[in-house]
Structure 1
Amino acid sequence: MSDAAAATGPRPPYAVVIPTLGRPSLGRVLTALAAGDGPRPARVVLVDDRPPQDPTPLPVAVPAALWDLVEIVPGLGAGPAAARNTGWRRAPEPWIAFLDDDVVPGEDWAAALAADLAAAEPDIAGVQARITVPLPGDRPPTDWERNTAGLATARWITADMVYRRAALASVGGFDERFPRAFREDADLALRMLAAGWILAVGRRRTVHPVRPADAWVSVRTQAGNADDVLMSRLHGRDWWARAEAPRGRLRRHAAVTAAGCAALVAAAGRRRLAAAGCAALWLAGTAEFAVARVLPGPRTAAEIRRMAATSVAIPPVAVAHWLAGHVRHRNARPLAVSPTAPVCAGEHADETRPFDSVISGNSVAYD
């Protein structure tokens, strides 16, 4: 379809689904949606994915322009994949736009989304946004900033991804065995492609700021190695290439961890020469990893300390999560598609929290 035809053609209704734990950035997302140009969504579903026993209202102030659109539904505290399923199954609109609660849609986001949807042929299941990650201009980015910047080139990330509702229903939605904001989007995309759907890149643009994080965030993110095991179980060992995902350093982490363990075993057995040799290998591997992370960065004293400490911790933590993933997902099978119709808005209305119960405030950020 031509650009002119897309601009003047019909504008399919859409819903926006945002899973959230109530981070302060959620208010910024809603403000951007309220202030932008273009057709408004038919509804905005905020899935409150805090622990179900948390009795406090979701800490966000809804802009007046969205008062008649926003509904808050409780999640299960089971992660963004489950929360997104809860959201899209409540919305009967033909298109579901998934946003993370820490992005900033552009001023013309709604207009560009309308053009994306109007241009979508019937076999297109989803349209990805163009993500920009702002980095400091006065210094090289830190390790965490570089990791976040990878979102700008990632494929099919649900930081801003719109899916046809019929396509979601046809493959069973997100696989809730992915408990983190990691690989659940790649899994869905690969299942869409395997089912014969097409995924496209649209015109709309969204900014994904680098959120604040503590020194140990890179260690906690190693939990994603268990999700990589699940991906291999479900999609085969070549899923990396099909998802255009970087392989990472797991093999090197395994070698470094093995050298460290061998050094400890040899030392316990009083085999000093063997212990020294294995310890030297561990030290060399750890130093190489640390240097590889320090050199592209700002090289400040604080950053070097963080890289040194976390470069010691990351290899064994990564391997531990990888091994745990093999145990946890040893019997994993592809997601079975339920023959029953998904729940739409209007059903189970008692599970909906009206937006006027929300309050202004802050919440603890999460990884």
Structure 2
Amino acid sequence: MTGVSVVVPTLGRPSLTALLSALAAGAPAPLPVELLLVDDRPAPAGELELPPGVDAKILTGRAAGPAAARNIGWRAASHEWVAFLDDDVLPDPDWFVRLAADLTGAVASAGGVQGRLRVPLPDGRRPTDWERVTAALSDGAWITADMAYRRSALEATGGFDERLPRAFREDAELAYRVRAAGWDLVRGSRTVTHPVRPEDRWVSVRTQRGNADDALLRRLYGPDWRSKLDIPPGRRPRHLAVTAAGTLAAGALATALLTRRRGALTVAAAAATAWSAGTAEFAAARIKPGPRDRREVATMLVTSAAIPPAAVAHWLRGWWRWRGARPLETAL
């Protein structure tokens, strides 16, 4: 191989400086490297500042999310191998050396080589719900926090599906199409660290927007889309049941108050009991492995009530929006 193009989509977060500084301070690459930064900010406040020793080409994104930004990057790449890094990871000092070994040692059938991901968790206490969600990335399959693809594999499949606008599922979806096109995906030896970024207590509710993307994948790949894309089972059926119970309880209670019918009040009570039980089970499952301090417990109680209806609402929104969606022409 002649070299590798490293593509980093970025929103200009402070973590980008740390990433670039780590690359510059590490062991030099034993092969030519092209570094492409795709500035995907909706309204760039100014030029991206590069640390000393970093030589990079800056490309302008379309503010359409990481999938679109990565497509811009690999299509502008000069080398056969394209390595994708997220702008919030920290490569090990020998990252370039191990990347070269991963790619030069890849068999001809390998269309992609994934790096290893390390998520440091706090010492002396149990991790919070958000910290556990981030730590789960270390077990993810083919995630683009550190994933290299042959340019020929990307060209054969059309790259990332830009209908997936978030940093969520877009990497798993591409991996499925690459494998469906006849390529193998393998794991390499290079490692990056993915720190847990600070978030407010409502992050778990905001992330439910990803259910709209799940609805798209269900439209594209059918009922077994999770197994096809190597995605573990979720809680959506339980969220649907809890949301239905809560909706029924509210509706029956309103009917009872307006009509004074005892039957409606009985239905409201039964549905409210089912809603309470489902919400309590969800909250307990999230509280048990955590630090169980006052703030964390309060956050889990409130968000466990908010997540099911949010998840269902986003799923229905996506199901309607993507009702006529079809796989990309290159998908098999």
TM-score (normalised: structure 2): 0.95
- State the secondary structure of the residue aligned to 1:255: helix
Q: 1 CA distance for matches of 2:120 and 2:44?
A: 36
Aligned partners of 2:172 and 2:230 also within 8 Å: no
* Separation of aligned partners in 2, 1:253 and 1:281: 12
1:1-367 matches, cutoff 5 A: 12-39=2-29, 42-51=33-42, 54-58=43-47, 60-67=48-55, 70-270=56-256, 271-337=264-330
SS in 2 for 1:179: coil
> For residues 328 and 291 of structure 1, what CA distance do their matches in structure 2 show?
34
How far apart are the structure 2 equivalents of 1:41 and 1:144?
Answer: 38
Q: CA deviation at 1:41?
A: 5.0
4+ runs deviating over 4 angstroms: none
1:245 shift after superposition: 1.3
In the aligned structure 1, how far is the partner of 2:243 from the partner of 2:170? 28
Q: Secondary structure at the match of 1:279?
A: helix
CA distance in 1, matches of 2:44, 2:301: 41
Bigger RCO of structures 1 and 2 (CA < 8 A, at least 6 apart): 1
| Amino acid in structure 1 at the alignment position of 2:50 | V
Q: Check the 8 A contact 1:12/1:95 in 2, yes or no.
A: no
Structure 2 CA distance, aligned partners of 1:14 and 1:169? 16
Q: Distance in 2 between matches of 1:91 and 1:234?
A: 29
* Residue pair 2:34, 2:78 contacting (<8 A) in 1 also: no
Q: Which letter maps to 1:89?
A: R
Q: 5+ unaligned residues in a row in structure 1: which ranges?
A: 1-10, 339-367
Measured in 1, the distance between the counterparts of 2:275 and 2:74 equals 48
> How far 1:31 moved relative to its partner?
0.6
Q: 1:55 to 1:163 in 2, by over 3 A?
A: closer
Distance (whole Å) between structure 1 residues aligned to residue 163 and residue 307 of structure 2: 24
Pairwise CA distance, 1:166: 0.8
Using the TM superposition, name which of 225-234 and 303-312 deviates more. Answer: 225-234
CA contact (8 A) 1:93 1:165 kept: yes
Does the Cα contact within 8 Å between 1:293 and 1:307 map onto a contact in 2? yes
Give yes or no for contact 1:12–1:114 (8 Å, CA) kept in 2: no
Say if 1:21 and 1:196 are closer, same or farther in 2 by CA, change over 3 A: same
Question: Residue 337 of structure 1: CA displacement?
Answer: 4.6
Mapped contact 1:48–1:74 kept (Cα < 8 A): yes
The alignment's C-alpha RMSD in Å is: 1.4
Q: One-letter code of the match for 2:77?
A: A
Displacement after TM superposition at 1:55 (Å): 4.8
Give the Å deviation of 1:122.
1.5
Amino acid at match of 2:15: S
Query: TM-score, normalised to structure 1's length?
Result: 0.86
- Work out the percentage of aligned pairs sharing the same amino acid: 57
1 CA distance for matches of 2:219 and 2:83? 28
For 2:51, the aligned partner's letter is: P
Give the superposition deviation at 1:336: 2.6
Q: Is the 8 A contact 1:38 1:109 kept in 2?
A: no
Paired with 2:229 and 2:93, the residues of 1 have a C-alpha distance of 30
- 1-side partners of 2:122 and 2:33: how far apart? 37
CA distance, structure 2, for counterparts of residue 41 and residue 248 of structure 1? 42
Q: Whole-Å Cα distance in 2 between the matches of residues 119 and 153 of structure 1?
A: 23
